[in-house]
Structure 1
């Protein structure tokens, strides 16, 4: 495996870094967070930055060129997400431009791709992903249900009719609760995995549909997410990614979306932890105590050395998983390994960075504390270290040993 970046990949990362570092500053983040903490209901969403990223076509990195995107793949998406994590970018790059856009491009019908992808690339539309459940441990094994419907009350196209029913063209009833749905309060649609018979279907749900309620939530990282309730929500077959011809008979698509989403979190965590470690290195090089920089003290130096090792472990395992996905391999084990390090190593880095900053590390108005909050949120999103270890154990147990092993 070769992790060396191509010239195009370096240029893409440099473009993302330039735009993000110029526009995302601690003062700008503080202003956005002030509205969240004041309870105004405004999301931590920089629309001007979103428009600038769309102008640079950074919202369509993995979208095929025929729908307005750049036509790259998972490696390039991770490069951009790493840069977003480095500055704690207040935009739905992970949820909308990566996970949702990737799922629609990979599994959507031609009509679904035409309806959604150009708008996602241009920044006019936002599709978020509802992957977490209050007591769910695996985004690919949801408790949310999709029940097949047929009956009266249908429109001429066999879709949802005037009275909310569905006709012979088919349809679904969705029931369940999803939590911590990113940017749910500003999304045009929510991608919801739901148990449908013998498999898992991916459904595009209109937040304004009957039976859908979204309750704003404020996350650890001071982002406005949403508690999504689906109570007898009726959708047509056109809401199912792939349409009626893809009636779920397995979990492959759900697993692929879960793995792609989890990998994106690892890329964000790499950016968060690397920037936090560099901030700690700079601080301890300049902070004087007993006539010496505190970074020269052995205890401080050792902690930062451990941070460096953890960051490099997050980097290595993330790129290994990304490479396997880019090659079309079954990368579930590699993704779980990467998320284990992103969670476990991210926890150690976040704690150490706060510690070596002393009182400054716990001051909420100081920018370093923001990195602690984001690292903690990323640690637990879609499963912490314990959940990833259990998933790895299950994968190993399900893999038959070679015949020659006794």
Structure 2
């Protein structure tokens, strides 16, 4: 197992960080609770080639794999960027491998002209290729041009403007980047039994974004405690503060290690159910601790929803529960220990 970053990972990471540093500001994000999708940013990412990872090489894709995609997601987390890279590229790109489907749905994504959303675990029922049901809080569905929907017999791709589709925007804890999706006798294209693949990719992608969020939140907090004074001493000089920061650093490194272990095994086609659950456990448990550490050590400004650190707190809390929180991951790990071949 080699955790050294590939040249492509390093280049994509550096490029994405430069773009997000230029494009994602307090003004572009807007006030807390607004936004959710930055269309101009999506276009810039496309022009830079970052979104080429959505395409299979058969239709002109960049040949990037899961490891490179995780490197991009870490940078998106660091910037708390309103970019639907996880559902549109990491999840959808892994199942829309048929050249005709890729050309229809992924090519516009790679050009920054389209957004795909993923709706798993809803109440959708399919009858003769037509779907009926509903699901709440589907990430990026409010801006989606198509949705990958898990139904009773298959995953389907459904155009957002298809008959019987109703999408109502909803606000989440950090941005208005979700929607209530209702389908009524809506036609879809069956993709087969790929729900678990989408679910695993979604969980791993959430871990990668969480790593970026926590990494940057810790940097901001460490910088603040080096400057802020209490009782004529900088906060960082107090032993309790140093211990809290040290614990947070260990948590961030645990997220990093378990993320890359799971991502590497998946990229190599190896069984990775336990590794993904372990990574998601740390993303949830450590995410909770680091998010609260950032707020607590910032003191009064930490609870100001307009302060930058609050965006990281809200993002970390949302990502904590994507794909199931820490307890859910421990239960999954317990099942794998009892029935390792299940």
TM > 0.5 fold call: yes
Tell me if the contact between 2:66 and 2:263 (Cα under 8 Å) persists in the aligned partners. yes
> What's the counterpart of residue 85 of structure 1?
77
1:30-69 deviation line (CA, Å, top 9, x unaligned): 35x57x3xxxxxx422111111100011112253233232
Q: Counting helix residues as a fraction of each chain, which structure ranks higher?
A: 2
CA distance in 1 between partners of 2:217 and 2:307 (Å): 12
- Separation in 2, partners of 1:10, 1:95: 22
Distance in 1, Cα, partners of 2:53 & 2:21: 19
Structure-2 residue corresponding to 1:273: 214
User: Residue 214 of structure 1 contacts residue 229 of structure 1 at CA under 8 Å; is this kept in 2?
Assistant: yes
1:130 aligns with 2:119: yes
User: In structure 1, what is the equivalent of residue 266 of structure 2?
Assistant: 325
SS across alignment from 1:61:
helix
Unpaired stretches in structure 1, ≥5 consecutive residues: 37-42, 134-142, 150-171, 242-247, 402-406
Cα pair 1:285 1:294 within 8 Å, conserved: yes
Write out aligned runs for 1:4-403 (5 A): 4-30=4-30, 33=32, 36=34, 43-61=35-53, 63-105=55-97, 109-133=98-122, 143-147=123-127, 149=128, 172-196=129-153, 201-235=154-188, 239-241=189-191, 248=192, 251=193, 253-399=194-340
Q: How many residues align?
A: 342
Rounded Cα–Cα distance in structure 1 between residues aligned with 2:294 and 2:185 = 47
Residue 132 (structure 1) shift: 4.8
Inter-partner Cα distance in structure 2 for 1:234 and 1:78: 33
Deviation at residue 231 of structure 1 after TM alignment: 2.7
Mapped partners of 2:69, 2:341: distance in 1: 34
Given that 1:68 and 1:121 are in contact with CA atoms closer than 8 Å, whether structure 2 keeps it comes out as no
Q: Is the 8 Å Cα contact of residues 56 and 93 (structure 2) preserved in structure 1?
A: no
Distance in 1 of aligned mates of 2:225 and 2:202: 35
Instruction: State the TM-score, normalized to the length of structure 2.
Output: 0.95
8 Å CA contact 2:262, 2:279 repeated in 1: yes
CA distance in 2, matches of 1:214, 1:204: 15
Give the C-alpha shift of residue 224 in structure 1.
2.8
Taking only aligned residues, the RMSD between alpha carbons, in angstroms, comes to 1.7
Q: Is the 8 Å Cα contact of residues 317 and 341 (structure 1) preserved in structure 2? A: yes
Higher Rg: 1
- Distance, in Å, in 2 between the alignment partners of 1:229 and 1:62 is 26
Quote the Cα distance in structure 2 between the aligned partners of 1:279 and 1:9: 24
- For residues 261-310 of structure 1, what are the alpha-carbon distances to aligned partners after superposition, in whole Å with 9 as ceiling and x for unaligned? 11000000000000000100000011111222111111111111111011
- In the alignment, what sits opposite 1:153? none
Deviation of residue 328 (structure 1)? 0.3
How big is each residue's C-alpha offset from its partner over 1:84-122, in whole Å with a ceiling of 9 and x where there is no partner? Answer: 0000111111121221122213xxx33212212221111
**Structure-2 residue corresponding to 1:40:** none
* Partners of 1:30 and 1:120 in 2: CA distance: 24
CA distance in 2, matches of 1:224, 1:4: 34
CA contact (8 A) 1:132 1:181 kept: no
1:79 Cα deviation (Å)?
Answer: 0.2
Separation in structure 2 between the aligned mates of residue 400 and residue 363 of structure 1, nearest angstrom:
48
Contact 1:190 1:204 in 2 (8 A): yes
Q: Distance in 1 between the 2:299 and 2:168 partners?
A: 37
Counterpart CA distance in 2 for 1:178 and 1:337 is 27
Unaligned runs of 5+ in 2: none
